[in-house]
Amino acid sequence: MKQDDKKYSGQFSRRGFLAGSVALGSSMMIPGFMNSVWAAGTDAPEKKEIRVGFIPLTDCASVVMASVKKFDEKYGIKIILSKESSWASVRDKLISGELDAAHVLYGLVYGLQVGAAGPQHDMAMLMTINNNGQAITLSHQLQQAGVTEDASLKKVVDASPKGTYTFAQTFPTGTHAMWLYYWLANAGIHPFNDVRNVVVPPPQMVVNMKIGNMSGYCVGEPWNQRAIIDEIGFTAITSQAIWPDHPEKVLGTTASWVAANPNAARALTAAVLEASRWIDTSDANRIETSQVVAQRAYINTAVDTIQGRMLGDYENGLGKKWKDAHSMRFFHDGAVNFPYLSDGMWFLTQQKRWGLIDKEPDYLAVAKKINRIDIYKQAASAVGGIALPSSDCRSSKLMDGKVWDGSQPAEYANSFAMKR
């Protein structure tokens, strides 16, 4: 058993997962949920066609493959994929109802709930889509100035007027902003006072670095590997080196959509969950997934830009190559997908740290409102064979040695020496 598997075996018990579903004609009754929202008459999805937004990133794979491999049809729905240009567009279309759900940044969903990512809106998170697989890319100009990692970056930043260097992330309350800020702060670089930071949509990162608009960025794949291929930048650090097996994208929607469409929410979650398991089953499935999502309709890039890092084969653009033990995961025996309350609360602690929210929130209450563990468990039962954890929170150690388990969120948020 690998070390990773030992870690997860302590959190998950196969004896603990719910009984599989029993098909009854065209509907599906799920044992253990006879008092659930659909048991009053039928469990048929309220909406047969569900419009799901995504951004051209490798981690949209499970949403795409749920449609391409027709896992959606198995649960009585049809996923209508909608390729979006930016996270702001995803946010606006979720709120307006133009999108039913989306492959979306974890921190965007939480930011909307607390009014930090736009007008306050009650949100719902149905499942985690992936762990790991993002990175921070620095420009060749910085490399030529002697920068190869965070310590040498701090020397260069300290030797220059404040604001000389610009760093990009993809959304103010999003995951990439938090990974970038955490890494810079750990190096002693204040992400707001010492450098400029700007928002750039993921597919536009490479071209903006190419024309000199930023010295570094944090984004999902394949846009870090693409910078290496285009010889404009190098990978300074992966996000999994900041937080091994960190939460990343989620299947997000609004609370009102779930309230109006509880059966459709369960069916959508089940379809994406089954696709997640399929992707992680084998390298062959990951290769096939890479070939699909590389197509013009999805990411629109060369397969080679995606496939290596999907298989865990990394290079940093400075001559180092390695097999990453914490590369992008979509399932990992269900450990990826469970909507841990502690994962959601972590993003709130960082939004508080950086002044994106001004008042101390009720961390646990917010997480319980957003993370629809009830819907996830119903979907896991419908899929069958999905292990469930023994706790709604998990413990993780980040790059600075701080341990996060969700137990004292206010103390954790205020424990950082560098904040805004």
Mean pLDDT, range 11-36, rounded to an integer: 33
Going by pLDDT thresholds of 50, 70 and 90, the confidence category of residue 31 is very low
Residue 49 confidence (pLDDT) above 50: yes
- Does 293 lie in the same domain as 169? no
- Does 185 lie in the same domain as 307? no
pLDDT in tens, 198-225: 999 999 999 999 999 999 999 999 999 9
Interatomic CA distance for residues 145 and 304, integer angstroms: 30
Residue 171 confidence (pLDDT) above 70: yes
Residues in CB range of 62: below 8 A, 6 or more apart: 129, 130, 272, 275, 276, 279, 330
197, 221, 242 - which closes a domain: 242
- Does 154 lie in the same domain as 284? no
- Does 207 lie in the same domain as 266? no
203, 220, 242 - which closes a domain: 242
Give SS3 for 350: helix
Residue 40 confidence (pLDDT) above 70: no
- Does 335 lie in the same domain as 271? yes
**Amino acid identity, position 108:** L
Q: Give 59 or 24, the one with higher predicted confidence.
A: 59
Interatomic CA distance for residues 420 and 410, integer angstroms: 15
pLDDT in tens, 305-341: 999 999 999 999 999 999 999 999 999 999 999 999 9
- Does 305 lie in the same domain as 160? no
- Does 118 lie in the same domain as 140? no
- Does 233 lie in the same domain as 252? no
Mean pLDDT, range 120-143, rounded to an integer: 98
pLDDT recorded at residue 42: 79
Residue 287 confidence (pLDDT) above 90: yes
Q: Is 120 within the bounds of a domain?
A: yes
Give the E-state strand segments of 129-264 in sequence order.
134-139, 166-169, 196-199, 216-220, 233-238, 249-254
Domain hosting residue 353, numbered range: 3-131+248-390
**Among the listed residues 196, 191, 193, 182, the one whose alpha carbon sits nearest the alpha carbon of residue 416:** 182
Mean pLDDT, range 351-358, rounded to an integer: 97
- Does 380 lie in the same domain as 255? yes
CATH for 288:
3.40.190.10
